[in-house]
Amino acid sequence: MKTLILTTAMIICSYITLIAGDDNKYTIGVTQVIKSHILDEERTIIISLPPDYSKTNKQYPVLYVLDGNTHFQHAVAASDYLSQYGLTPEMIIVAITNVDRNRDFTSVYDESVPTSGGAKKFHNFIDNELMPTINKSFRTSNYNILMGHSFGGTFVSYSLLDHPSTFDAYIAISPYLQYADNYMIKQAKKKLRASYDKSKSLYMTVGDEPDYFEPLDSFSALLEEKSDEAIKFLYVQMPGENHASTPYLSLFNGLRFIYSDWVLPNEIFVLGLEAIDDHYLKVSKKYNYEVVTHENTINLLGYNYLRVGEIDESIATFKENVKRNPNSANVYDSLGEAYENNNQPDLAKVNYQKACKLGKEQNLGTLSVFEENLKRVTNILNK
């Protein structure tokens, strides 16, 4: 994780790590403290940047995660896995830890929850303090997702109804919409719209939780009646799951739903890189920010050419990947492999050397592979 340059309101507290073996630590995020003038308190957030953040100038969507301490790690894992296989874009994860979730996630006071009713102020904090800080500090795109579970899901529905310009997509997991005598259902009847400034997506789930079924069915019916064309919506009941198990599955599947138009059709690889670039141009228009073809996708196309013996097309594709991603060790290694398969060990060596140089500078776990490739072609040239 690179040093984070933030506003003076934020202070680095500690690194969030996962231990790998005896000596290595994989850093997946850093905790930050922001002094909120709106809430009149300090709020701790946890931030994770995409693995290739430091190697590109790309902008990234942001996933804001409520109940941050609980859901941060599996949110990062889901995002990393899905983006690695081209199912979603890479994204920045911002997890908001709790001070008083009953206060922050409920939009109206209910005597059964003494501190309730602070959602308006909490949303104001997100809108006017947290998001501007994140946008100023990192390369964010104009696409934001909000995820919440239980009372957090109640807050998700509040955000959609009362502040629809803040987020583009929502994941509401077992939202407690029966709170305060079905208050959010009553609000939905008045506030759901037939159109919004930007397209919206909502993925909502529930496990084997019978008390939730009636209000969620009512909310779903209202969405279909009032916002059918305006919000891409899916409500999923998850038999066999309970209140504790739904978040893990829902976040993974919710991201896939939100980015259902992201995935490349298999047949497009036959048409080549120009067709793939055109696909992501259309995706860019849908998600309101520039999306470029990922280096892994271009690499896959190059290896497809290599596999069927179209060596010239393979080399041309890998060279284009080097042009687009000059700081990636892997693209040089792939180009070296194509040259080696074309009986051009001298050019293969040049690219393997570049891969090794970048691999060392970036402390990559794949460095040993690059070094083995370089050793092999060096031996060929020395014969």
pLDDT tens per residue across span 152-197: 999 999 999 999 999 999 999 999 999 999 999 999 999 999 999 9
pLDDT at residue number 3:
29
Give one DSSP letter per residue of 244-309, joined into a string.
Answer: TTHHHHHHHHHHHHHTTTTSPPTTHHHH-HHHHHHHHHHHHHHHTS-----HHHHHHHHHHHHHTT
The alpha helices in 108-267, defined as continuous H runs, are 119-125, 131-137, 151-162, 179-191, 210-226, 246-258
Torsion of CA 156, 157, 158, 161, to 10 degrees: 130
User: What are the C-alpha distances in Å from 230 to residues 65, 168, 172, 257, 260?
Assistant: 24, 12, 17, 16, 17
pLDDT at residue number 11:
32
Bridge partners for 321 per DSSP: none
pLDDT at residue number 306:
96
pLDDT at residue number 327:
92
Give one DSSP letter per residue of 317-369, joined into a string.
Answer: HHHHHHHH-TT-HHHHHHHHHHHHHTT-HHHHHHHHHHHHHHHHHTT-TTHHH
Query: Using an 8 Å Cβ cutoff, are 296 and 328 in contact?
Result: no
**Separation of alpha carbons 373 and 383, rounded Å:** 16
pLDDT at residue number 26:
67
| Of the listed ranges 63-67, 118-122, 230-234, 281-285, the one predicted with least confidence | 281-285
Query: Six-digit token pair at 303?
Result: 């290896």
Query: Six-digit token pair at 349?
Result: 């060596």
Q: What is the mean pLDDT of the chain?
A: 91
Residue 201 burial (10 A CB sphere; 0-12, 13-18, 19+): buried
pLDDT at residue number 27:
76
**Separation of alpha carbons 212 and 203, rounded Å:** 16
Query: Using an 8 Å Cβ cutoff, are 30 and 45 in contact?
Result: no
pLDDT > 80? residue 14: no
Backbone angles phi, psi at 89, to 5 degrees: -75, 165
> pLDDT band at residue 15, thresholds of 50, 70 and 90?
very low
Q: Convert the pLDDT of each residue in 191-214 to its tens digit.
A: 999 999 988 999 999 999 999 999
Query: Using an 8 Å Cβ cutoff, are 268 and 276 in contact?
Result: yes
Of 85, 86, 90, the C-alpha closest to 60 is 90
Query: Using an 8 Å Cβ cutoff, are 75 and 63 in contact?
Result: yes
